[in-house]
Amino acid sequence: MAEAVRKAYRAGQDDEQMEPLVMADTSGRPIGRVQDGDYLVFADLRGEREIELTQSLTEPDFSHFSRPSICIHVVTMIEYDRTLRVRVAFPPLDRIRDALPQVVAYHGLRQAKVVETEKSVHLTYYLNGKSDEVLPGEERIIIPSPHVSDYGSVPELSAAQVADAALEVIADPAYRLITVNLANADVIGHSENEWAIRRAVETVDRQIGRLVDAARTADVAMVITADHGSVERWRYPDGAIDTGHTDSPVPLMLVESGLCAIRLREGGALTDVAPTVLHLMGLPKPAAMTGESLIAGPLAHKPRRVLLLIADGWGARQETWGNLIAAAETPVMDVLASQWPSTCLVASGLAAGMPAGSVGNSEVGHLHIGAGRRLPSDRVRIDTAVSDGSFVQNSALRWAMNGARRDGTRLHLLGIVSFYSSHGSLEHLKALMQMAQAEKVPQVYVHGMLGRRGERPQSGAQYVQSLEDEAARLGNSRLVSIIGRFWALDRERNWDRIEKSYRWLVQGRGKAISGVRVGS
């Protein structure tokens, strides 16, 4: 399979949109397909992009495309959606209470969130403390993202329409907190299209200018920050393109006439954003928020309306080499940084609840911006379980493995194939393979999704090879299919992509890869 991936590279394919590859016997028949009665562990994290494929595998009344009538027993590594008919290996911890939107609602104040669909889950679910609940007084204005296969062709996305909607809310004094996400730098930054990325950055800068003008006219204090870095470090030191997130800090600026003389403290993190917003609004910080306001000293003015603007993926980096934010024309942000109180915030690693040295991402970024406290990520929880041995005692995982062995069916492991992705880890797949061997599951089939974000060019083949080597060592596992994550991890209801992934898993539709003996 690793060699098949390399051949796909040579044919012009990339990891993200790689067409499905399926291992076949010498007669060309696909092997390792998901069949009636089988057990499947979806090893991915995050979850918002995993919901649609999981629905297609589990919902008896699924209607978005025709499927065979089969029953698949599914375990998801974390909770993707509480309505899914699955078991969850690592369910959510206690509900996060007193996140920023909850505090605003508790005080009876109205708030609005404005975002395009590509980032809607971040501004609603994650910012609200991993809660789907629409709070009292909360309005969600979600603008459709362009429906295209390549966002690089429309680097402006729907930023102008998001700003248009935000301008209407800013003009309405009933809204005390307005939270806006501009998605362009992050979404387009996951490409190798330098022109499109610079255009995306310039689009964000231009729309920020419109919002700043409106906020100042309406006497609204504006907090501008980001959730993580990305295109400010678009190249590795050797010149190769880095399409992933970074561990750079992110900027934070305060814009409002009464704030020009205040001082912001250094050494802050994303957890300090919510306390700062509450400080500006004149609301008390709840005890659960361990972050602190970045504003040094008391505020002399009355409680303010606040516009919290999250420029998704806008990292802060002084070095200009490989820095596409520095390369773009950003007159608005340049002036704001020079004339208004500003600082930088840590947005990755331990400060964002992630392993030390890890990069940031939109999920933990928005979660920590809203929560105002450090929260252990699902990755850290699972890494800890693997290292301390409790992983192999997990009741949901044991249910799937023991069920496959008892019923004489197959165990399937599905997950992102990446050294480090916000959607999962190669090491988690290997831990599942090792656990299945220890549990004496006779038939274990691994299905991988490739997606180069933050990885070296054509690195997917190396990770596929690593999985094949581990499967050969264990003896009872086989890596039997590969697909690009573009087809499998969707959150825009592109059911044609999900159908392609479903038929890859269940029916073996894809390019047949030979080399496995008959009867395997």
286-318 pLDDT, tens digit per residue, is 999 999 999 987 777 678 999 999 999 999 999
d(CA 380, CA 93): 13
Q: How many CA atoms lie within 13 A of 498 on its CB side?
A: 22
* Other Cβ atoms closer than 10 A to 253: 21
Calculate mean pLDDT across residues 425-435.
Answer: 95
All CATH 3.40.1450.10 domain ranges of the chain, comma separated, are 2-91+380-513
Q: DSSP alpha helices (H): ranges in 342-441?
A: 362-371, 378-388, 395-407, 426-438
Helices (H), 282-357: 324-327, 331-339
Q: Backbone phi, then psi, for 42, in 5-degree steps?
A: -90, 105
pLDDT of 258: 80
| CATH 3.40.720.10 segments of the chain | 100-375
Measured between alpha carbons, how far is residue 487 from residues 49, 384, 450 in Å?
A: 11, 31, 10
Q: Exposed, middle or buried by CB within 10 Å (0-12, 13-18, 19+), for 218?
A: middle
Please tell me the predicted confidence (pLDDT) of residue 492.
86
206 pLDDT above the threshold of 80: yes
- pLDDT for 519 equals 37
Q: Provide mean pLDDT across the span 58-62.
A: 95
Q: What is the pLDDT of residue 51?
A: 96
The single-letter DSSP state of residue 31 is -
Q: What percent of the chain has pLDDT over 90?
A: 83
Which region, left, alpha or beta, applies to residue 372 given φ > 0 means left and ψ of -120 to 50 means alpha?
left
pLDDT at 452: 66
Query: Residue 365 — φ and ψ, nearest 5°?
Result: -60, -55
Contact of 444 with 411, CB cutoff 8 Å: yes
pLDDT for the residue 342 = 96
- Which one is predicted more confidently, 301 or 117? 117
What's the mean per-residue pLDDT of the chain? 93
Global confidence as pTM? 0.77
Confidence check: pLDDT of 457 > 90: no
Q: What CATH code is assigned to 2-91+380-513?
A: 3.40.1450.10
Distance, in Å, from the CA atom of 251 to the CA atom of 16, rounded to the nearest integer, reads 30
**pLDDT tens digits, one per residue of 67-107:** 998 999 999 999 999 899 999 999 988 779 999 999 999 99
Cβ(351)–Cβ(259) below 8 Å: no
Question: What CATH number should be reported for the domain whose range is 100-375?
Answer: 3.40.720.10
- Across the range 331-349, mean pLDDT stands at 96
What's the rounded Cα separation, in Å, for the pair 73 and 69? 13
